[in-house]
Chains A and B, each alone.
Chain A
Amino acid sequence: MKGLKKHFAMTKPFLNRLLDKEEPQSVKAVDGLDLDIPRGQTLSLVGESGCGKSTVARLIMGLSTPSGGSILFDGTDISRAPAGNPAAVRQRMQMIFQDPYASLNPRWRVRDIIAEPLRTYGLSGSREEERREVDRLLEFVGLNAKDGDKFPHEFSGGQRQRISIARAISTKPEFLVCDEPTSALDVSVQAQILNLMREMQRELGLTYLFISHDLAVVNFMSDWIGVMYLGRLVEVAPAAELFSNPQHPYTRLLLDTIPDLGMSKRDRTPAAGEVPNPISPPPGCHFNPRCALANDRCRSEAPALRAYPNGGRVSCHAVEEARGAVVIPAGVGHSMQTAP
């Protein structure tokens, strides 16, 4: 993804439009995203509700047209191509959605749901071949071949998510976009689905864009993590590095708010501040009203995403200036020394 943007025009209520003659407003849901996902690896996007994660997923899948920037899939620019086109590229990418209740057509038999992408792309061959392939997919995701004749309502949430996964991998895609695939499931079912996804990655060599707001889940799934805040990427780093050595003040806040099973945080005071309104984000760095390190530069100039020697990229003036508590430790990068 290069400079990827999606702005939604806001239609104001009629009376307001009569009364004030302001410029039309827009929500910058995704505001200039630069991101690479290496083949065979998992990159996760994390960030608070409304920061634009699902919008990125929809842009990649062609379910929404970008307002700017480009999306390259294995060298082909697909940013203006609608969903399903060009077929040769689109059949190599599929999506798994959060809600296993809403994303399956309730009137179709599971067999038809799973076979649909095969039919769409003309890959299904004879009736008999298709039947065998659907049986194989059902068993691959841990269901029974005879489940194909049932309807979605006959399954639990976890089983429905397995059906969505079978459907998503039916065209033998190389790339899966997974938007909160386990958020609606309880922990025991979540473990089964996450294990299945990791196994599929090992066996089929899949590449994942994984979206979640659960950082422990992201830790289990990811090679790379991108942190988004109000439509912008604030930090991207190898997963282990992001957890052990977070740089951006917002990344630190996110890590700090993870509930701790060891019960060590029972008496903490939660980070104050609310996510600002995406229609009128603060000027400069969007995070400045919540940031302890904010200064005048932060309030006027938006920080650019810069590469650091630890393999990550961060957009923060304080990190760039090595000021305050935000420091890349010596030994990783010699140019970055601890500030006094």
Chain B
Amino acid sequence: MRQRVVIALALCAEPRLIIADEPTTALDVSVQAQIIALLKRVCRERNAAVILVTHDMGVIAETADRVAVMYAGRLAEIGPVAQVLQKPSHPYTAGLMGSIPRIGPRPDRLIQIEGSMPRLTDIPSGCAFNPRCPKVFANCHHIRPELRQIADGAAACLLYEGVTQ
């Protein structure tokens, strides 16, 4: 319940913005659900904005309005939660969503993104995700993609730049 105390403290000052860094990590599901409900209520009743920092996609799905996916220090994709989680545009987002275990029939293998996040001192040239990307092509090695609008969001991936593949 330490988290509740932290949230209560944040509320004393009637904040306009609450930054919650991994507020539910290491909590079990039933307590986690209570914390999420509390954050949402605060957000609604006090009209405060919340930046939620987390790697728990389930929490994002239940809580956030918009989500920004970061890779190696930059935004890979941003948009409404439904769009980013259910129709990811960036190959990194697609890989992340695929690697989450689900309730339901038990597969033999989870989809996995090969390799690991680069050291921040050693980011590949071009698109930082290129050594791990299943859709990588020649340009990815020397052009750094900028965010491009896709529906109500945006993704930083050369697949959407209209560059010849």
Of the candidate stretches A103-111, A252-260, A278-286, the one touching chain B is A252-260
Encoded as 1 (CB less than 8 Å from any B CB) or 0, chain A from 242 to 285 comes to 01000000000111011111110110011100110000000000
Residue of A nearest to B81 (CB): A263
Q: Which of B1, B36, B55 contacts A270 (CB 8 A)?
A: B36
Which A residues touch B112, using CB under 8 A?
Answer: 188, 191-192, 195
Q: A48-B31, A49-B28, A259-B62 are in contact. Are A187 and B107 (CB under 8 A)?
A: no
Q: CA A258 – CA B95 in complex, angstroms?
A: 21
The smallest beta-carbon distance between A48 and chain B, in angstroms, is 4
Residue of A nearest to B62 (CB): A259
Q: Quick check: A187 and B106 within 8 Å, CB to CB? A: no
Residue of A nearest to B112 (CB): A191
Which A residues touch B62, using CB under 8 A?
Answer: 259-260, 263, 265-266
A152 located at the interface, meaning its Cβ lies under 8 Å from any Cβ of chain B in the complex: no
Q: Quick check: B96 and A270 within 8 Å, CB to CB? A: no
Which of B26, B28, B55, B61 has the most chain A CB atoms inside 10 A of its CB? Answer: B28
Encoded as 1 (CB less than 8 Å from any A CB) or 0, chain B from 86 to 118 comes to 100000000111011111101111111100110
B37 located at the interface, meaning its Cβ lies under 8 Å from any Cβ of chain A in the complex: yes
A219 located at the interface, meaning its Cβ lies under 8 Å from any Cβ of chain B in the complex: yes
Which A residues touch B150, using CB under 8 A?
Answer: none
Of the candidate stretches A210-218, A318-326, A329-337, the one touching chain B is A210-218
B50 located at the interface, meaning its Cβ lies under 8 Å from any Cβ of chain A in the complex: no
Q: Residues of A within 8 Å of B, CB-based: how many?
A: 44
Which B residues touch A47, using CB under 8 A?
Answer: 28
Q: Residues of B within 8 Å of A, CB-based: how many?
A: 43
Q: Quick check: B28 and A213 within 8 Å, CB to CB? A: yes
Q: Which of A189, A213, A239, A269 contacts B29 (CB 8 A)?
A: A213
Give residues of chain A (49-70) contacting chain B, Cβ–Cβ below 8 Å: 49
Q: A156-B116, A240-B106, A259-B59 are in contact. Are A187 and B36 (CB under 8 A)?
A: no
B32 located at the interface, meaning its Cβ lies under 8 Å from any Cβ of chain A in the complex: yes
Which B residues touch A270, using CB under 8 A?
Answer: 30, 33-34, 36-37
Q: CA A192 – CA B29 in complex, angstroms?
A: 23
Q: Quick check: B106 and A239 within 8 Å, CB to CB? A: yes
Q: CA A240 – CA B103 in complex, angstroms?
A: 10
A121 located at the interface, meaning its Cβ lies under 8 Å from any Cβ of chain B in the complex: no
Q: Which of A159, A189, A220, A271 contacts B107 (CB 8 A)?
A: A220
Q: A188-B99, A191-B112 are in contact. Are A261 and B33 (CB under 8 A)?
A: no
Which B residues touch A156, using CB under 8 A?
Answer: 116-117
Which 5 residue pairs of A and B lie closest in terms of their CB atoms, listed nearest first?
A259-B58, A191-B99, A270-B33, A216-B101, A220-B101
